[in-house]
Amino acid sequence: MPYHAPVEQIRFILNSVVSFPEVSGTEKFTEASPDMVDAILTEAGRMTSEVLAPLNEAGDQHPARLENGVLRSSPGFNKGFQAIAEGGWIGLSADPEYGGAGLPQAINMSVADMMAGACLALQLNPLLTQGQIEALEHHASDELKALYLPKLISGEWNGTMNLTEPQAGSDVGALKSKAEPNGDGTYSITGQKIFITWGDSDVTENTCHAVLARLPDGVQGTKGISLFMVPKYLPDENGNPGEANSLKTVSLEHKMGIHGSPTCVMSYEGAKGWLIGKEHGGMAAMFTMMNAARLGVGVQGVGVAEAALQKATEYAAEREQFGPIIRHADVRRMLATSRAEVFAARAICLACATALDMADATGDADWAARAALLTPIAKTHGTDVGCRVADTAVQVHGGMGYIEETGASQYLRDVRITPIYEGTNGIQAMDLVGRKMMDGGTAAQALLDEIMDNARGNSKICPERAEALWSAAQNLSEATTKLVEMDMDDRFAGAMAYLSAFARVLGGHFHMKAAMAGGEDEQLLARIYIDRILPRNAADLAELEAGVADLNAVSDAALGLA
């Protein structure tokens, strides 16, 4: 079954489930009219289904490769990327001053969802470029913006994010890369970076690396780190790629999935770079890029889940074992719960994007707080659902799911990286219960109040499900009050459980809204979600209350260490 972009569901979520009509009603985004959004989603659906999706298997079977130091992309990727660039999809939310369309992030993330479902390995290229565009818009000098933004937005050049080193993964402050001033406003960058997504490319003219490094007077830890623009080819006087910079792609990582995406080991050997933002302010600039990418990665999980589920559903309808297996209760359970999970995760991601847009358009601190709260939830839950649904899709296929020729396993192999990207899901959960609760839980409680109000408002129409949703939200509210009183180690021990519980309550909330705005299909999916998935919150909240003591009491020997 070929991938079919879920245009109708995305349109329904935007119009009836999240607050996008409020976004299009603001002065900043007044051009995002219903007609324009419909046209964008329709064209994106056509492009992703017809142009990108056919490249997915080719990227898996014929990985990117490095030949004598030259990157060779998977068959058809050049044509696919050209369609992305020429369609203006990279700059959908970028500043119009530099060639972007200036449209809401909710629309950008809707398109990213479809791109990721069609071909995740290729979609990673524009995702990283979009993150770099945002970092430059917020932190770069006018000169850097004028030179790089038009090229990145047009797709002539692509952007990367260079954080990780062999000894410095999540502990970014342990990096060893150095930056030496050249005395002319440029810097010489020396060091090695690993896991650099699309760190080299033959689908663009130039690859622009955002590299974290430490200046000679930079203190140890993250406070001494600066961010630099280090292009593969140095721009000439006309802004075109000129002589090669002193950097090279050492090797490509051999990965379990996303084979079409070249994940590079990069070596910088006195490469020329330009400072992005302030000296020693690299983490602030990089976090702008990472926060944009975190939501994008959550959307990737949703997109791949959609594609995997489509394939499993088609297979179940065709596979005969005592009749079509789609009629068997257990298979139907897997398909129905997966469909309900995908809808909920997609709605959470688009609600997060909508909050970002409202904060951007209005400057309202409450919208900004909501976007900050939802970002780790969207990233973590979106990618967890991606893995869960892709795994279930293999199970629906039975033994054939484990055979590479069916293509079911590719989705599971591809999506498995997403819970690791941009800060592991455990780190996202720790951010939720730590930094995002520095307000004493105010933003979380405000959102839970809305959910309980929604449940009360529908109590006469759908009493059983409304009561279940209200009860789950109330229990989560009480747990949030207890959470902010815990010490940090106890919070961290239950962080993933708390995030999961919050995501499920959000999922129930959005399913309830969909049921009220939609038809019978939406009502039945809401019933599946609220009756079968939402009750798992009780176990999550019990784990949250367990704290850290029992984990610390387990000896290393009991964990299996000699």
Q: Which residues are catalytic?
A: 422
> Of the candidates 250, 159, 261, 278, which has an alpha carbon nearest to the alpha carbon of residue 211?
159
**Do residues 229 and 209 make contact, with C-beta atoms less than 8 angstroms apart?**
yes
Instruction: Give the helix/strand (H/E) hosting 114.
Output: helix 105-139
Distance, in Å, from the CA atom of 139 to the CA atom of 132, rounded to the nearest integer, reads 10
* Structure-token pair, residue 206: 């130039």
Return phi, psi of residue 416, to 5°. Answer: -65, -20
The three-class DSSP label of residue 530 is helix
> Of the candidates 497, 502, 493, 446, which has an alpha carbon nearest to the alpha carbon of residue 473?
502
For residue 400, how many other CB atoms are within 10 A of its CB? 14
Region for 248 from its dihedrals, namely left if φ exceeds 0, alpha if ψ lies in -120 to 50, beta otherwise: beta
Helix then strand then coil, % of the chain, to nearest 5: 60, 15, 25
Spell out the residues 6+ positions from residue 280 whose beta carbon is closer than 8 angstroms to its own. 215, 218, 219, 223, 224, 225, 226
Distance, in Å, from the CA atom of 65 to the CA atom of 248, rounded to the nearest integer, reads 14
Distance, in Å, from the CA atom of 438 to the CA atom of 430, rounded to the nearest integer, reads 12
Report the DSSP beta bridge partners of residue 246: none
Instruction: Give the helix/strand (H/E) hosting 196.
Output: strand 187-197
Distance, in Å, from the CA atom of 398 to the CA atom of 161, rounded to the nearest integer, reads 39
Dihedral sign for Cα atoms in the order 118, 122, 124, 127: negative
Report the DSSP beta bridge partners of residue 193: 266
**Do residues 321 and 396 make contact, with C-beta atoms less than 8 angstroms apart?**
no
Spell out the residues 6+ positions from residue 442 whose beta carbon is closer than 8 angstroms to its own. 369
What is the chain's Cα-based Rg? 23
Spell out the residues 6+ positions from residue 457 whose beta carbon is closer than 8 angstroms to its own. none
Distance, in Å, from the CA atom of 375 to the CA atom of 351, rounded to the nearest integer, reads 10
The three-class DSSP label of residue 469 is helix
The DSSP string of 453-464 is HHHHHTTTTSHH
**Do residues 382 and 349 make contact, with C-beta atoms less than 8 angstroms apart?**
yes
> Of the candidates 419, 62, 402, which has an alpha carbon nearest to the alpha carbon of residue 259?
62
* Structure-token pair, residue 89: 């999809």
The DSSP string of 381-420 is HHHHHHHHHHHHHHHHHGGGGGSGGGSHHHHHHHHTTTTT
